Amino acid sequence: MSSFRRDKKEEEDGGANMFQNLDKTTLLQEARYFNSTPVNPKKCIHILTKIIYLLNQGEKLTTQEATDIFFATTKLFQSKDVMLRRLVYLSIKELSSLAQDVIIVTSSLTKDMTGKEDLYRAAAIRALCSITDSTMLQAIERYMKQAIVDKNPAVSSAALVSALHLSATVPDLVRRWVNEAQEAIMSDNMMVSYHALAVVAGARRNDRLSTVKLVTKLSRAPIRSPYALCLLIRHAAKLAEEDPSEASEPYLEFIESCLRHKSEIVVYEAAHAVVNLRKSARDLAQAVSVLQIFCGSSKATLRLAGARTLAKLTTKHPSAVSACTVDLENLISDPNRSVATLAVTTLLATGAESSIDR
Amino acid sequence: MEGSLFEPTLYIVKGMCILDNDGNRILAKYYDKDILPTTKEQKAFEKNLFNKTHRANAEIIMLEGLTCVYKSNVDLFFYVMGSSHENELILQSVLNALYESVSILLRRNVEKRVLMENLDAVMLAFDEICDGGVILDSDPTSIVGRTALRTEDVPLGEQTVAQVLQSAKEQLKWSLLK
């Protein structure tokens, strides 16, 4: 009986079989196949998939093994097959930290990032920025600036996100791309404007005055991207926290105006910020009522977000939370245990005699 | 108060993974070197996460200082992890993007066997959703559009035409030989 069951299981796994019992010695052998011409895309895609899968499973490669595979992979640039090319980029990124002399593909990638095929360009930019060091970067700086303001959102996003990663190692260089990034903030594409805002704000991180300017200007601009708005709320909240005087009033007004946004993500972001910034319980009412609605949502994530923010508020303003007692009581028997636990602890902190009876 | 406000950062996603119904890893990526740096720690975390979530379909769990949102179907479990000081709804939007894109790629057959057959496309989707912890895209249609599904379809069509031609040629050859 047990053997029958096992057979059945193996049968069910059918498609998974080719990924079982993979070992790296065989794969290293198979990678040699990449050297043969002309390239057979289907077979190479299959081998590359297995290599990336094995790395993803946590298999360790020595520097020599990784370098061997990496160099074999570079031969696949001959093929024009989009799927294969994309997997080559992916394996370049996966192997870049393990193999030696990875900069050898710089020129191939530069060619792809400036080429005609949009599907290549975005992915090539990301792969290129993962292998280049600061000296090589200057050579591609011109292309990066162009890519940031490219019409294709995927290309623009790829360049901006890469710039963001690079700003950790070469901040001075990336700071020179801010003008282009600033232009991209007003993009119609939601992700591009989000990424661009992050690059610009990141470059001004240590300059309070220009951050103030940026936030003030953008809080009046019609930004549609929910992610970008969340980021802007975070910067505004940070400014307000650093300087709690009258001057922070415009930031708080902007954040409160976001409580009426149509996206739940933005509403929650704003409510969370207000709850952490406002001092008096009266000013909190609007944000608390939003969180109260979240507690009654059918989505567990919203209930948790609401309950968790209210739970934090109890230490500061127990009176403001007491308005939500009934909603929190409903959450005690919530199917999600994290939500139920939060509700119980919050109620214990705010509870009065009257609520114990119920 | 430390960690009361959300940090203004783009490095929101700490990890994403897909597990099978035994809790084994199919695909996983961790983006923060300070969190779960070794494969051993990652797999231990995944086991723990799976044990806590595979029976209760409760969408979200707080585990080991991480907020994990999740979703399951047939024999697959999808997870997105973020720090516990993070907007949960943003993580949820990433999970939705991951699940929906995979679902489109697998033509709505979200199960292990089909996923393994399309592992290459799913890997590319992973790469298109999150780049080093930054959300790259959260719109399933544009993610799928970028994962080269297009080429998969085109050669298939060409292939069938070529096959038809080939078989026609062979038939003609045989009829001539007779």
Which domains are assigned to chain B? 13-177 (3.30.450.60)
Q: Do A158 and B25 touch (CB under 8 A)?
A: no
pLDDT at residue A351, rounded to an integer: 66
pLDDT at residue B148, rounded to an integer: 61
Q: pLDDT class for B106, splitting at 50, 70, 90?
A: very high
Res B160 pLDDT > 60: no
Give the residue-averaged pLDDT of A66-83. 92
Task: Inform me whether the C-beta atom of residue B25 falls under 8 Å from chain A C-beta atoms.
Answer: yes
pLDDT at residue A14, rounded to an integer: 47
What burial class does residue A42 get, using C-beta atoms within 10 Å of its C-beta: 0-12 exposed, 13-18 middle, 19+ buried? exposed
Q: Do A201 and B8 touch (CB under 8 A)?
A: yes
Q: How far is the CA of B70 from the CAs of A237, A274, A300, in angstroms? A: 29, 28, 11
d(CA B26, CA B49): 14
Nearest to A16 among B58, B113, B132 (CB): B113
Res B1 pLDDT > 50: no
Cα–Cα nearest to A346, from A354, A324, A358, A357: A324
Q: Return the residue of B nearest to A312 by Cα.
A: B4
d(CA A286, CA A256): 8
- Strand, coil or helix: B66: strand
Res A306 pLDDT > 80: yes
Q: Do A119 and B116 touch (CB under 8 A)?
A: no
Least confident of A50-54, B53-57, B161-165: B161-165
Res A152 pLDDT > 90: yes
- Strand, coil or helix: A322: helix
Phi then psi dihedrals of residue A21, to 5 deg: 50, 35
Span between the terminal Cα atoms of chain B, in Å: 91
pLDDT at residue B48, rounded to an integer: 95
Interface mutation target, options A55, A57, A251, chain B, most CBs of B under 10 Å: A57
Give the residue-averaged pLDDT of A305-319. 89
ipTM for the predicted complex: 0.90
Q: Do A195 and B134 touch (CB under 8 A)?
A: yes
pLDDT at residue A283, rounded to an integer: 85
Phi then psi dihedrals of residue B83, to 5 deg: -70, 160
Q: Do A300 and B58 touch (CB under 8 A)?
A: yes
Task: Inform me whether the C-beta atom of residue B69 falls under 8 Å from chain A C-beta atoms.
Answer: yes
pLDDT at residue B158, rounded to an integer: 47
Tell me the average pLDDT of chain A: 88
Q: How far B137 CA sits from the closest chain A CA (Å)? A: 6
Res A9 pLDDT > 60: no
pTM of the model: 0.88
Omega cis (within 30) before A41: no
Res A358 pLDDT > 60: no
pLDDT at residue B161, rounded to an integer: 55
Give the contacts of B113 (CB within 8 A, at least 6 positions apart): A12, A13, A14, A15, A16
Span between the terminal Cα atoms of chain A, in Å: 54
Residue owning tokens 């050859």: B173
Give the residue-averaged pLDDT of A67-71. 93
Q: pLDDT class for B82, splitting at 50, 70, 90?
A: very high
pLDDT at residue B139, rounded to an integer: 94
d(CA B37, CA B118): 28
Give the residue-averaged pLDDT of A335-354. 82
Task: Give the gyration radius of chain B's Cα atoms.
Answer: 21
Q: Return the residue of A nearest to B153 by Cα.
A: A83
Q: How far B91 CA sits from the closest chain A CA (Å)? A: 9
pLDDT at residue A247, rounded to an integer: 85
CB < 8 Å to A195, chain B: 10, 134
